């Protein structure tokens, strides 16, 4: 299944742009996507954390990605 991803902040810098399409097995989970990103872009493993949002809501690693879902990488955020 093709998954289109939006990226912001440091995630955009790691990917080299704001959008990315990846091919994952049918019925992929958020955890599988994160593992794929860490293999393809090792800089993700160096981040303190990063989250995935599906359709504007934070998603657990076990959550399935559905065709047409809006997938966004949420980089670590610091406040002050």
| CATH classification of the domain holding 43 | 3.10.20.30
Inside any domain, residue 6: yes
Inside any domain, residue 80: no
Return the H-helix or E-strand segment holding 4. strand 2-7
Residue-wise pLDDT for 28-79, tens only, equals 999 999 999 999 999 999 988 899 999 999 999 999 999 999 999 998 776 5
Inside any domain, residue 79: no
Inside any domain, residue 39: yes
Domain that holds residue 39: 2-74
Inside any domain, residue 20: yes
Q: How many domains does the chain have?
A: 1
Inside any domain, residue 66: yes
pTM: 0.90
Let me know: does 72 contact 55? Beta carbons within 8 Å.
no
């Amino acid at each position: 299944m093709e998954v289109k991803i939006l990226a912001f902040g440091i995630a955009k810098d790691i990917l080299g742009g704001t959008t990315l399409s990846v091919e994952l097995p049918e019925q992929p989970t958020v955890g599988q996507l994160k593992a794929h990103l860490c293999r393809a872009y090792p800089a993700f493993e160096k981040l303190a954390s990063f989250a995935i949002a599906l359709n504007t809501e934070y998603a657990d690693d076990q959550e399935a990605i559905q065709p047409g879902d809006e997938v966004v990488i949420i980089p670590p955020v610091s406040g002050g």
